[in-house]
Structure 1
Amino acid sequence: MKPRILLLIAFLTLTACKREQKISSSESTSISNLVQYKEQNGVLHLKSGNFTYDFKQNQIPFKKIILLNASMAGYISELGEENLVIGVSSPEYIFSGKIQNLLKEGKIQNVGNEQKYDVEKILSLKPDAIFTNHIASFDNTYQLLKNNGIQVIFLDEYMEQKPLEKTAYIKLFGKLFGKDKEAETKYQEIEKNYNELKKLALKAKEKPTVLANEMYGDVWYLPGGKTSAANFISDANANYILKNNSEEKAVTMSFEEVFAKSNDVRYWVNAGNHTSKKEMLSMNPFYGKLNVFNKGKTYVITGKERALANDFFESGVVRADLVLKDYIKIFHPELLPDYQLTYMKELQ
């Protein structure tokens, strides 16, 4: 997969005198290799992966939307636009307290889950747009919705591997909701925080070695060296054991292969959603052979969890700065003595 890029380009806007109508305007923003949008002659042109969209002035900003992925809720909440949401799928996975309250009040409807969407309910709600990751097996459902005049917008933010590019999707949501300035301000704030934290991490006297993820069955799925997790670890000034790997996806290894690489590991992060080391060991006794399990520190991503909902996969998608801050606190606690972890939690 091509490496992601983040470009912000300002374009010339031509106007006549105050009493004359705007002749043309062109403003283009590139979020990453996956997503770019451009406003020209009153039409917003959006490219997202293999999909393109043209929105006329009378179509945006959207007033009624449906979310089919919990991660999308993070952007909505960051912009304070929860009231635009009229439907969600799998509400049990949504962390947002405001969205949960609107569900209880009946202002947001449950439209099914990734096994089966309630198409009739979706059509009855008449949303301006539906936001979802693209799932090929649902192409017939998507086409049915489109045939009934509903915009289905595919945004695969989970494929972005550079943390700030994932954050930058907030600009697109701002554009579609008529909150351009607010979205740009939010992005700049998070970007500034992130870059300042990266500089802070460089002040650390040590650069510890880090292991990530866990085993499923007989296979350990480690983040590739160019994944989001690997980039966070690098930006937090630590050595990820697969830092020289060039994959943007998970790399599979046996326990023996990981064991051979893990002798100097001091921190184990993203180790699933276990509740204790004892419980972790009961799931896989092999973990007890690792130095990091016995002498190091192990962290899971359950710091903000409520039942099945985990805010790491919601607000954490947007707040790259807070995720990085957690990693720095873990690897270099002396740099952030008063900070309490947001998304991560140490296993005892």
Structure 2
Amino acid sequence: MKSRILVLIAFLTLTACKREQKKSPSESVSISNLVQYKEENENIHIQSGNFTYDFKQNQLPFKRIILLNASMAGYVTELNVENLIIGVSSPEYIYSDKIQNLLKSGKIQNVGNEQKYDIEKILSLKPDAIFTNYISSFDNTYKLLKDNGIQVVFLDEYMEQEPLQKTAYIKLFGKLLGKDQQAAAKYGEVEENYKKLKQLASKAKERPTVLANEMYGDVWYLPGGKTAVANFIADANANYILKNNTDEKAITMSFEEVFAKSGEVQYWINAGNHISKKEMLGMNPVYSKLSVFNKGKIYVITGKEKVKANDFFESGVVRSDLVLKDYIKIFHPELLPDYQLTYMKELQ
């Protein structure tokens, strides 16, 4: 009798534990400081910046999507689900050969550009969701789409300043497009590669000084000290001239201000999309006064570029490990003797 009571108590305790586990809310999955999602009661709740979304499980995965930014194509391409795309804007800026072939065959439609989206075409395509960066001047367009029952999902990955957090958006795309496992595996691969590369860079004997970006008119727009570019430079074990700055946005400086800080600069990266130093000098003759222009090395982001499309802004958004690998190759070539640059190119 006593043993039966003990068995009954054990059974009731186990049952209570199981019930308790069912009732406990699922944990929120953090993509970054800007984006999180949570699955609960057969719904998925997404927080993206100031926007929230609630999707029922029977709405997912999305099977017909429109992309209004080339960077979004990078995530879709990495998951090999380009066939889910039914429309894109500004296709001339998309690098993916597969997406371009689907455009040529008519399976993906051109829905306009950031000057004017083709609303009638978008409505006729009946997408499950549209993915885009939020642009306040398009509020009326977004409202029109929403009023017609179309989900507009705002994802501002360009605002992320931690390279791996940009990559982590692939996990959300995986959740919404039915590729959870593939997304988790890809993120894990990139994260592991990134950490190993960062560790490799830390072994370099020298830490060169780096300048970034270029002038537009009379103003030099340098990445702030807490931007993605600055973080890449630090993780590649180099010394950025604005490393002590705490801004997550571009810093404007005059040429004279940059010149005063650039005496020890050995590498100049992200120097636009120029084709040669001569052409660069033709656009801005004052560059000749910089020591790095005459004696250092200058790199542009044109390693994977086709006309207006640049894969750095597409797959490079996801493959933060390859971007870091490029910077390490530039700053510490001895650490990666056999590696050829992916996104960057030295300016001759």
Into which bin does the TM-score normalised by the smaller protein fall?
Answer: over 0.9
Residues matched between the structures, number: 331
Partner of 2:38: 38
Partner of 2:177: 177
Partner of 2:298: 298
Task: Report if the CA contact (8 A) 1:299-1:344 is conserved.
Answer: yes
SS at match of 2:36: strand
Q: Tell me the distance in 2 between the aligned counterparts of 1:158 and 1:337.
A: 31
TM-score (norm 1): 0.93
Letter in 2 for 1:119: I
Letter in 2 for 1:207: R
* 136 and 15 in structure 1: CA distance in 2 versus 1, 3 angstrom threshold: farther
Q: Tell me the distance in 1 between the aligned counterparts of 2:324 and 2:299.
A: 14
- Report deviation, 1:16: 6.1
Superposition misfits of 4+ residues, deviation over 4 angstroms: 14-17, 22-25
Q: Does structure 1 residue 327 correspond to structure 2 residue 314?
A: no
SS at match of 2:117: coil
Q: Does structure 1 residue 123 correspond to structure 2 residue 126?
A: no
- Report deviation, 1:58: 1.2
Letter in 2 for 1:185: A
Letter in 2 for 1:73: A
Q: Tell me the distance in 1 between the aligned counterparts of 2:208 and 2:24.
A: 54
SS at match of 1:26: coil
Q: Tell me the distance in 2 between the aligned counterparts of 1:325 and 1:33.
A: 25
Larger deviation, residues 223-232 vs 22-31: 22-31
Partner of 1:203: 203
Q: Tell me the distance in 2 between the aligned counterparts of 1:135 and 1:245.
A: 27
RMSD: 1.3
Letter in 2 for 1:250: A
Partner of 1:224: 224
- Report deviation, 1:24: 7.0
Deviations 1:151-202 (A, max 9, x none): 0000000000000000000000000011111101100100000000000001
SS at match of 2:278: helix
Q: Tell me the distance in 2 between the aligned counterparts of 1:288 and 1:252.
A: 20
Partner of 1:133: 133
Q: Tell me the distance in 2 between the aligned counterparts of 1:54 and 1:28.
A: 14
Structure 1 unaligned blocks of 5 or more: 1-13
Letter in 1 for 2:92: E
Deviations 1:274-297 (A, max 9, x none): 000000000000000000000000
Partner of 2:107: 107
Q: Tell me the distance in 2 between the aligned counterparts of 1:39 and 1:122.
A: 29
Q: Tell me the distance in 2 between the aligned counterparts of 1:328 and 1:109.
A: 39
Q: What are the equivalent positions in structure 2 for 1:19-34 lying under 5 Å apart?
A: 26-34=26-34
Partner of 1:245: 245
SS at match of 1:58: helix
Deviations 1:231-269 (A, max 9, x none): 000000000000000000000000000000000000000
Q: What are the equivalent positions in structure 2 for 1:254-269 lying under 5 Å apart?
A: 254-269=254-269
- Report deviation, 1:27: 3.8
Deviations 1:24-78 (A, max 9, x none): 7624211111101000000100000000000001111000000000000000000
Task: Report if the CA contact (8 A) 1:132-1:152 is conserved.
Answer: yes
Partner of 1:189: 189
Q: Tell me the distance in 2 between the aligned counterparts of 1:27 and 1:38.
A: 6
Identity %: 81
Partner of 2:345: 345
* 50 and 134 in structure 1: CA distance in 2 versus 1, 3 angstrom threshold: same
- Report deviation, 1:115: 0.2
Task: Report if the CA contact (8 A) 1:209-1:265 is conserved.
Answer: yes
Q: Tell me the distance in 2 between the aligned counterparts of 1:25 and 1:127.
A: 31
- Report deviation, 1:227: 0.2
- Report deviation, 1:334: 0.2
Q: What are the equivalent positions in structure 2 for 1:77-96 lying under 5 Å apart?
A: 77-96=77-96
User: Which has the larger share of helix?
Assistant: 2
Letter in 2 for 1:174: G
TM-score (norm 2): 0.93
